[in-house]
Amino acid sequence: FDKDLYEGNDVPGVVTGLAWTSVGGDILFIESSLSRGRGQLTLSGQLGDVMKESAMTALSYLKSHADGLGIDYRIFQHYDLHVHVPQGAVPKDGPSAGITMLTSMASMFTQRKIKPNTAMTGEITLRGKVLPVGGIKEKILAAKRAGIKDIIMCYKNRKDVEEVGEAYTTGLTFHYVDYVEEVLEIALLQEKVVNPLNFILPEEKKETPVSAPLGVVVV
């Protein structure tokens, strides 16, 4: 019953997703927070198993691509990440929030702002592919109603957008992507949020860099 509106990009880690529900499309917000801890992941908002796995996949992608995104890997070990999807009593499931969760986490770990008036929908895979999702028509209607201007989705969903009449898509810019990298390039601004978090990390222990182990026998 409660149709939400776009809410700005001042807070790090808050990203707008598009949801399909039995009573039509809606936007939803993925929220992330970091606090000093031991690398624990907490998920809340009555998320189903598929959506939980989606969050775990997003986090693994970020961890294994931390260097490229300029994220100090020690943050993963010395901070706890919490991802919440309001409203807390509404059960949610499915893989289509994959890129939204990943973008929320990436914004939180880099403290970079999200492109304003932007929403997204798409499944992610562990290697960073973006997969198409369903409910495109309803999601577009909901995005427009909520004040969204830019929508990011999988290139394979382009045909679903074209099936929706132009009347519904005027004023919306669609960004079609195949890889997670493209999502982050579009959605993560270079600009940091105001008062970005200063991470407190332990001194690093000495470690041995090891080249890829092909043919090397270590005892």
Q: Which of residues 26-45 bind Ca ion (CB under 5 A)?
A: 26
Task: State the burial class of residue 147 (Cβ atoms within 10 Å of its Cβ: 0-12, 13-18, 19+).
Answer: middle
54 among known catalytic residues: no
Name the minimum Å distance from CB 136 to its own copies: 15
Cβ closest to Ca ion, residue 106 vs residue 142: 142
Q: Which residues are 151's β-sheet partners?
A: 119, 174
Among 83, 102, 114, 133, which residue interacts with Ca ion (rule: CB under 5 A)? Answer: 133
Task: State the burial class of residue 136 (Cβ atoms within 10 Å of its Cβ: 0-12, 13-18, 19+).
Answer: buried
Given its own copies, Ca ion, none, residue 4, with its beta carbon under 5 to 8 Å by kind, binds Ca ion
Given Ca ion, its own copies, none, residue 201, with its beta carbon under 5 to 8 Å by kind, binds its own copies
Instruction: Report d(CA 94, CA 125) in Å as an integer.
Output: 13
Contact in structure between 60 and 126 (CB atoms under 8 Å): yes
Name the minimum Å distance from CB 6 to its own copies: 14
Contact in structure between 126 and 109 (CB atoms under 8 Å): no
Q: Which residues are 16's β-sheet partners?
A: 29, 119
Given Ca ion, its own copies, none, residue 26, with its beta carbon under 5 to 8 Å by kind, binds Ca ion
Name the minimum Å distance from CB 84 to its own copies: 4
63 among known catalytic residues: no
Catalytic member of 33, 54, 96, 104: 96
Residues shown for the chain:
219
Given its own copies, Ca ion, none, residue 50, with its beta carbon under 5 to 8 Å by kind, binds its own copies
Type of residue found at 182: E
The residue range among 18-26, 70-78, 144-152, 189-197 that interacts with Ca ion, by the rule CB under 5 A, is 18-26
Which residues are marked as active site?
96, 139
